[in-house]
């Protein structure tokens, strides 16, 4: 592994560029480098691991039990990459992926305040997941964070929320995080579970598969540990963060009655969804996954997207968890090597067969979890008009409903023009899924039909000075010289 | 937030206040470790905001670092002597955030 610390160390061309150093990206980069390909692994974060194995090489948390045994498995992925020749660039943002004239791709990079354009024959996007937006009144108050944010602060910096802490939402990660924070010494005054009771009816058909899945033992242990020790409240139907300027409490509705729990930190979680911005901006086709209830890039059995040469591995192409992400990364790397002519099809298939078998095993039981922890409709499309949906431009649910019904706005792209919704720096990452739900609900159509934002590069803000300082290419010079 | 285990400390300033945080922290984590929950005011209403996702997605931890505005605090490693300031609303061409 060759660590890249400045933009000048990045080569002009790589056989494969991998975006994201979580489990999928680490495994893809390692496999590709082991096959003798030149590899760039670019990652925004300061250290490898992605979010699930966040800070695996640098964490100050030394008590292994606090983060659980699964977390420490991430170390093996980094160890596998170390002896290879893959170039690893931390703190490096990829803001653009576009086809180039040579049949490969041109990537826009930013590192240490400087930008560059480089070429890669194949691209593997391993951009992972983000938490599903969970808009409730007051969710923009300082003191309210995602549950994942608290977990990142714990893994990367050994931080634990001070004061009275409430965790609210739905999904297996909610129980995992509650357990981890409690083990690290947090004062958890309530765990507010919004899992709709009727989800059990939908999920029960998928239960037999779950019984044979690796999730079962893990899940039961988590539930037993969390439920036994922590103050659980189930059947939560509405939430509102209270406070003026900063969080002071959370109002929770259960069985038609509301109560306010004073707290200093509120951690929200409503499952995770693929981070699709880069794939979307690169033009990869996507569809609405009805089970996981989110927009998902469309990929084939090799995790190849609709654009030949761009693969999407890991949770960025559908949530499957860390173990499956690493396996998907390997499969994508094998196919990328085949596309580059470095691996015959038969060799690729032979290498992939055992990985595929493991992948199938790791995903068994997933459907049960997806159905059980599907968020309730009122958390996907907030009923209170004053709830902010677009955190950047401070656009509310009421404004979006009004634009969809009275002004006849039919989709999220048109909504941008009317309300500037999705046009702030986060570029729809925190409002997109909610805007789609609200428009779909208001117009009585499906999310699929409503569509999603059409995103454009740069997918992360890059300064004008960085762009102006880009070394000009021959083509760019020809374009302006007469 | 409070720390599980203190480590080597780096000195920095936030809005002129001298603070310390653990080497290896991001700017956003360093602020949280010092009890700073709000680090920017929004351009639309001027409301206080602070780190929300800690993973580069939400842009609510935007701060001014050494005079450069719109930096995502959760992605920037803290360095000794960093001058971090609240990002107030929009960027102004003649202000401190140019």
* A63-115 pLDDT, tens digit each: 999 998 899 999 999 999 999 999 999 999 999 999 998 899 999 999 999 99
pLDDT digits (tens, 9 = 90+) for A330-351: 999 999 999 999 999 999 999 9
Q: Rounded CA gap, A164 and B66, in Å? A: 34
Chain B residue closest to A59 (CA)?
B24
**pLDDT at residue A413, as a whole number:** 96
Q: Give contacts of B1 with chain A, Cβ < 8 Å.
A: 153, 159-162
pLDDT digits (tens, 9 = 90+) for A182-209: 999 999 999 999 999 999 988 988 888 8
Chain B residue closest to A247 (CA)?
B37
CA distances (Å), origin A427, targets A117, A276, A318: 22, 11, 20
Separation in Å, CA of A253 to nearest CA in chain B: 24
Average pLDDT on A136-148 reads 98
Q: Give contacts of B44 with chain A, Cβ < 8 Å.
A: 393-394
Scanning A371-430 for CB atoms below 8 A from B yields: 391-394, 424-426, 429-430
Task: At A92, list the tokens.
Answer: 């490096």
Q: What is the mean pLDDT of chain A?
A: 94
How many Cβ atoms from other residues are within 10 Å of residue A6's Cβ? 10
How many Cβ atoms from other residues are within 10 Å of residue B3's Cβ? 18
**pLDDT at residue B6, as a whole number:** 58
Yes or no, beta carbons of A429 and B33 under 8 Å apart: no
The DSSP output letter for A356 is H
Task: At A113, list the tokens.
Answer: 């305040």
Q: Chain B residues contacting A, CB < 8 Å?
A: 1-5, 7, 22, 24-26, 29, 32-33, 35, 37-38, 42, 44-45, 47-60, 62, 68, 70, 74-75, 77
Does the pLDDT of residue A474 top 60, yes or no?
A: yes
Yes or no, beta carbons of A60 and B33 under 8 Å apart: no
How many Cβ atoms from other residues are within 10 Å of residue A255's Cβ? 7
Q: Which residues contact A36 (CB under 8 A, 6 or more apart)?
A: A342
Chain A residue closest to B61 (CA)?
A142
Query: Which of A46, A93, A394 lies closest to B45 in CB terms?
Result: A394
pLDDT digits (tens, 9 = 90+) for A208-259: 888 887 777 777 777 777 677 899 999 999 999 999 999 999 999 999 999 9
Q: Rounded CA gap, A123 and A336, in Å? A: 8
CB pairs under 8 A between A and B: 128
CB A166 within 8 A of CB A177: no
The ipTM assigned to this model is 0.94
Query: Which of B25, B52, B62 lies closest to A157 in CB terms?
Result: B25
């Amino acid at each position: 592994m060759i660590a890249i610390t400045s933009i000048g160390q990045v080569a002009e061309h790589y056989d494969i560029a991998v975006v994201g150093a979580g489990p999928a990206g680490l495994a893809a980069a390692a496999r590709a480098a082991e096959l003798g390909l030149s590899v760039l692994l670019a990652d925004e974060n300061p250290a490898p691991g992605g979010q699930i194995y966040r800070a695996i090489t640098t964490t100050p948390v030394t008590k292994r039990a606090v983060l659980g045994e699964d977390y420490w498995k991430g170390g093996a992925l980094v160890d596998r990459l170390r002896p290879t020749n893959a170039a690893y660039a931390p703190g490096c943002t990829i803001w653009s992926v576009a086809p180039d004239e040579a049949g490969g791709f041109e990537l826009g990079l930013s590192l240490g305040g400087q930008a560059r354009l480089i070429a890669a024959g194949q691209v593997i996007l391993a951009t992972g997941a983000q938490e599903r937006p969970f808009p409730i009144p007051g969710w923009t108050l300082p003191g309210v964070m995602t549950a994942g944010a608290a977990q990142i602060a714990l893994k990367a910096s050994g931080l634990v929320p001070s004061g009275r802490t409430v965790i609210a939402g739905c999904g297996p990660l909610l129980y995992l995080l509650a357990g981890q924070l409690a083990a690290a010494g947090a004062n958890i005054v309530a765990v507010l579970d919004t899992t709709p009771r009727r989800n059990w009816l939908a999920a029960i058909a998928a239960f037999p598969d779950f019984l044979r899945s690796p999730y079962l033992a893990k899940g039961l242990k988590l539930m037993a540990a969390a439920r036994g020790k922590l103050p659980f409240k189930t059947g939560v139907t509405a939430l509102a963060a209270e406070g003026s300027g900063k969080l002071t409490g959370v109002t929770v509705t259960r069985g038609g009655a509301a109560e306010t729990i004073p707290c200093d930190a509120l951690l929200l979680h409503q499952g995770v969804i693929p981070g699709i911005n880069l794939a979307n901006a690169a033009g990869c086709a996507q569809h609405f996954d009805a089970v996981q209830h989110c927009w998902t890039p469309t990929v084939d059995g090799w995790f190849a997207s609709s654009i030949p040469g761009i693969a999407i591995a890991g949770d960025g192409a559908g949530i499957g968890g860390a173990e499956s992400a690493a396996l998907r990364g390997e499969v994508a790397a094998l196919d990328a090597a085949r596309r580059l002519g470095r691996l015959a099809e038969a060799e690729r298939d032979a290498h992939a067969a055992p990985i595929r078998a493991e992948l199938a095993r790791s995903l068994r039981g997933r459907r049960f979890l997806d159905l059980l922890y599907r968020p309730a409709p009122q958390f996907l499309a907030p009923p209170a008009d004053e709830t902010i949906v677009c955190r950047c431009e401070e656009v509310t649910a009421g404004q979006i409903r009004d634009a969809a019904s009275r002004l006849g706005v039919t989709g999220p792209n048109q909504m941008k023009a009317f309300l500037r919704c999705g046009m702030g720096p986060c570029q729809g990452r925190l409002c997109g899924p909610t805007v789609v739900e609200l428009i779909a609900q208001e117009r009585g159509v499906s999310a699929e039909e409503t569509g999603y934002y059409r995103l454009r590069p740069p997918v992360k803000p890059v300064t004008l000075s960085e762009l102006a300082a880009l070394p000009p290419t021959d083509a760019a010079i020809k374009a302006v010289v007469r | 937030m409070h720390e599980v285990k203190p480590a080597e400390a780096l000195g920095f300033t936030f809005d002129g206040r001298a603070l310390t945080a653990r080497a290896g922290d991001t700017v956003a984590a360093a602020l949280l470790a010092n009890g700073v929950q709000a680090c920017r005011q929004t351009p639309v209403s001027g409301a206080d905001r602070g780190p929300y996702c800690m993973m580069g997605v939400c842009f609510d931890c935007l701060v001014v670092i050494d005079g450069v505005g719109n930096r995502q605090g959760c992605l920037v490693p803290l360095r000794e002597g960093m001058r971090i300031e609240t990002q107030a609303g929009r960027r102004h061409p003649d202000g401190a955030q140019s």
